[in-house]
Amino acid sequence: MSTESQNFLEKEIQDSFEARKRLFIGLITGTSVLVCLILLLLWYIPYVGLDSIHPWAPWVMGTVVALAIGFIFWVSLGLVLNILLKRPVLYSRNLRGISIKFFLPLMTIFGRLLRIPKQKIRASFIKVNNELVLSESRKYPPDKVLMLMPHCLQNSICSRRLTYNVNNCKRCGECSISGLLDLSSEYGVHMAIATGGTIARRIVVNIRPRLIVAVACERDLSSGIQDAYPIPVYGVLNERPKGPCLDTRVTLEHVRLALDKFVDVPMQDSKSSRRGADGSEQVTESRVQLSEISLKNAPGK
């Protein structure tokens, strides 16, 4: 990929996801305020009745509520600053789990009240999850990285069964699987194809990766990120030119950028080689940091 094309790709992806980042910040702020108001209400309603139990009871209850509100404020502020500054702040390295287990379900409910589509909320969550994973700035051995792909990337008329053995692919180039296998071989990482959440969980248990680069739609990625926690998952949205779950595609350069960022492989003279479409070997400059690049915008379901 030429420098001009690379710059265009960076700008396209960055522009596509500014709105998603703002949506997450808005939802997490609104959700935090709503939860704090509910906590205050839970304290205020029984306030008079608590006196009959013990004179100190209202104050004890008030202290508990105040601590809960303070914790929610700290978590929300830490997440927002982590997103904006793209580095851990306020001891926020462990906030990814809180955003996955606590905020996503509440944000979905809050977004429903505001009539925000689930798909937008999920896409925003995936974007921010990627930012949090990137902010940890960690490298992993190739044998501890898993590329987890959905079966819908395979050509729908292909007779090869790839779910249990991706090497059954004949690499005809009619779908994205061939290029993904090339990336898997180039970086020395695991690659597997899953037909659903149950098989995906089995694959993760068997391989025991320390990082997953996953390709899927908004729904499957958001649920997969939740299921895989505490294993970090970097998500790449698939492209759905024929609709959901049929002959989907993925931009290989997005997956390559993720592998460049996370896989601990030596890069000689800041360059790496790869095979071009004509089979010749091409040399490309070391790739840009993913801190400015993330998911590619995908069409709606």
Range of lowest pLDDT (3-12, 241-250, 259-268): 3-12
CA–CA separation, 132 vs 78, rounded Å?
Answer: 11
Average pLDDT over residues 25-31: 78
* Residue linked to tokens 């004179």: 55
Where a domain ends, among 34, 69, 85?
A: 85
Task: With respect to residue 218, please indicate whether it lies within any of the assigned structural domains.
Answer: yes
For the chain, what is the domain count?
2
Which whole-number Å values give the CA distances from 216 to 52, 75, 191, in the listed order? 56, 28, 14
pLDDT band at 250, cuts 50/70/90? very high
163 & 249 share domain: yes
What confidence tens digit (pLDDT) does each residue in 63-87 have?
A: 888 888 888 888 778 777 777 776 7
152 & 59 share domain: no
Task: With respect to residue 46, please indicate whether it lies within any of the assigned structural domains.
Answer: yes
Domain CATH number, residue 155: 3.40.50
Average pLDDT over residues 158-165: 86
Task: With respect to residue 284, please indicate whether it lies within any of the assigned structural domains.
Answer: no
Who has greater pLDDT, 265 or 301?
A: 265
pLDDT at residue 286 is higher than 50: no
Instruction: List, in sequence order, every residue forming a beta bridge with 61; answer none if it has no partner.
Output: none
Q: What residue numbers bound the domain in which 222 lies?
A: 126-262
Evaluate the omega torsion of the peptide bond into residue 232 and state whether it is cis, within 30 degrees of 0: no
Average pLDDT over residues 120-136: 85
Range of lowest pLDDT (42-56, 113-127, 138-152): 42-56
Q: For position 299, what pLDDT does the model report? A: 42
Task: With respect to residue 155, please indicate whether it lies within any of the assigned structural domains.
Answer: yes
80 & 173 share domain: no
Residue 279, Cβ neighbours under 10 Å: how many?
6
Task: With respect to residue 294, please indicate whether it lies within any of the assigned structural domains.
Answer: no
Average pLDDT over residues 207-231: 92
Q: For position 298, what pLDDT does the model report? A: 43
Q: For position 94, what pLDDT does the model report? A: 64
Task: With respect to residue 118, please indicate whether it lies within any of the assigned structural domains.
Answer: no
Task: With respect to residue 68, please indicate whether it lies within any of the assigned structural domains.
Answer: yes
Average pLDDT over residues 9-21: 50
Average pLDDT over residues 243-267: 89
144 & 236 share domain: yes
Contact 194, 203 (CB under 8 A): yes
CA–CA separation, 291 vs 14, rounded Å?
Answer: 10
pLDDT band at 50, cuts 50/70/90? low
131 & 257 share domain: yes
pLDDT band at 209, cuts 50/70/90? very high
178 & 258 share domain: yes
Task: With respect to residue 102, please indicate whether it lies within any of the assigned structural domains.
Answer: no
Q: Take residue 230 and report the two structure tokens written for it.
A: 């505490």
